[in-house]
Amino acid sequence: MTKKIRTILFLICLFLFLTIAPSIIFYSQGYRFDFDPPGGGKKISQTGGFFLNILPKQSEIYLDGKLVKKTDFFFGSALSDNLLPKKYKIEVKKDGFFPWEKNLEIKEKQVTDAKNIILFPKNPEFNLLTKGIQSFWFSPNGKKIILKEIEENVWDLKLYDLEKMIKSHLIEETDIFAKGVDLLNLEFSDNSKEIYLNTGMKEQKKNFILKIDEFQPVLTEKEIIPLSENIIAFEIFNNNNYYLDISGNLYKNETKLSAIPFPIKKETGYTLKVFQNFLFLQENEILYLFDQNTKSFDKFFEKILGLKISPDLQKIVYFSESEIWLLSDDEKIFLFRLSEKIRDCFWLNSNYLIFSTENSIKITEIDERDRINIVDLPEFENSSKNSVSTESTIFWNKHDKKLYVLKENSLYQSDNLLP
């Protein structure tokens, strides 16, 4: 090989090196030539990616209709990188489960995440626990249910042990008063060993304690110490006493919190609700939030139906008969509005809600980016065609992760709804 040829070959290799090496370096650093960037034109862009965490594991991930990968077996997560910055349609699918779908944007040098995706079973099983139930109450530990049954116009209370799957008799109304009484309210003690009964008989109210952890239930009358006439609303939270007096001033123990009294209306019911750093006052259907800066109550929400804090204690869901909202990091977030009336709502976990309407039971995420994914639980059978679509009372038991549905005087228990 002559010197001239060697020189030509060297120059060619040098040219290729100088041409290709920068491309390899730019490529390794995530730069790509974008033929169709947002806004039009052509340019070189730095890539980004998606990080998804999904339950159940081994779910399929589609980007713009194309299957790109499955989540891993151990953690249920997946990273899709080297993606040009733009909006992508993400779909997550698995046989036997409702799909999840959302349009999310990737920006240069950033990873967009969706870490709390759950796919819910399309056909969860509902098992009949017991019949002839008018109402039910769950214990704080989620292991017991008090059932109110009515037979021949006489009510009685039964204890259902979810661990042993055994129903036992507690008392009936004639054990309290031979001529019968009205059960106005029932509450569990914090340790789940007692229940408190508020009853009415002959235009008189009486309160009782029923010990349910004894071999034989023990009923005793409970003496109620009335609140001071000056106190119109009272709440205990973290061993602190919060109360609103008749002048509209708010107190924590003996310390006055309010600088501006709340205008109290005569013959109006008031309720205090305390959640971590939030303190609410409900006046009939109007909800007020205590402002720590002005030290006064500001109107927060009208036509309030319910108010509940998330399991991680970071968010509050509040809802009317038609709307569901979130309070997170002092920000009010509107989730959605429905044409059918909302009846009740529970936190499924800290990222999902389960709620009932007049005609259905639904599960929704709280990620408001793009469209919110909502699924309707399918009709379940009472061994025939007995569906959830009729009016139901629900309770989500966070301890066993099962949904309890009272419909047409029958109490049902679902399979575990969370993977």
- The pLDDT of residue 26 is 42
- In tens, the pLDDT along 74-96 reads 889 999 888 889 999 999 999 99
- The pLDDT of residue 392 is 86
Q: Which residues pair with 101 in a beta bridge?
A: 91
Tokens 């305390």 found at: 274
Q: What share of the chain in percent tops pLDDT 90?
A: 72
- The pLDDT of residue 4 is 64
- The pLDDT of residue 378 is 82
With CA atoms as reference, report the closest residue to 390 among 378, 404, 408: 408
With CA atoms as reference, report the closest residue to 160 among 140, 135, 143, 141: 143
Q: Beta strand pairing status for 144-151 and 154-161?
A: antiparallel
Domains and CATH numbers, the chain: 47-118 (2.60.40.10), 145-221 (no CATH), 232-416 (2.130.10.10)
Alpha helices (H) in 138-187, listed in sequence order: none
Average pLDDT, the chain: 88
- The pLDDT of residue 31 is 46
Helix H or strand E encompassing 22? helix 3-28
Q: How many CB atoms lie within 10 A of CB 215?
A: 5
Both tokens of 92, joined, read 């997550």
Instruction: Tell me the whole-structure pTM to 2 decimals.
Output: 0.86
Please report, to the nearest 10 degrees, the dihedral formed by the alpha carbons of residues 34, 37, 40, 43 taken in order. Answer: -40
- At residue 12, what are phi and psi to the nearest 5 degrees? -65, -45
Running along the chain, 419 residues long, what does each successive block of 10 average in pLDDT?
64 56 44 51 71 96 95 90 91 97 92 95 93 96 96 93 95 90 94 95 88 90 75 93 95 95 94 93 97 96 97 96 95 95 97 94 96 87 46 92 95 92
- The pLDDT of residue 7 is 67
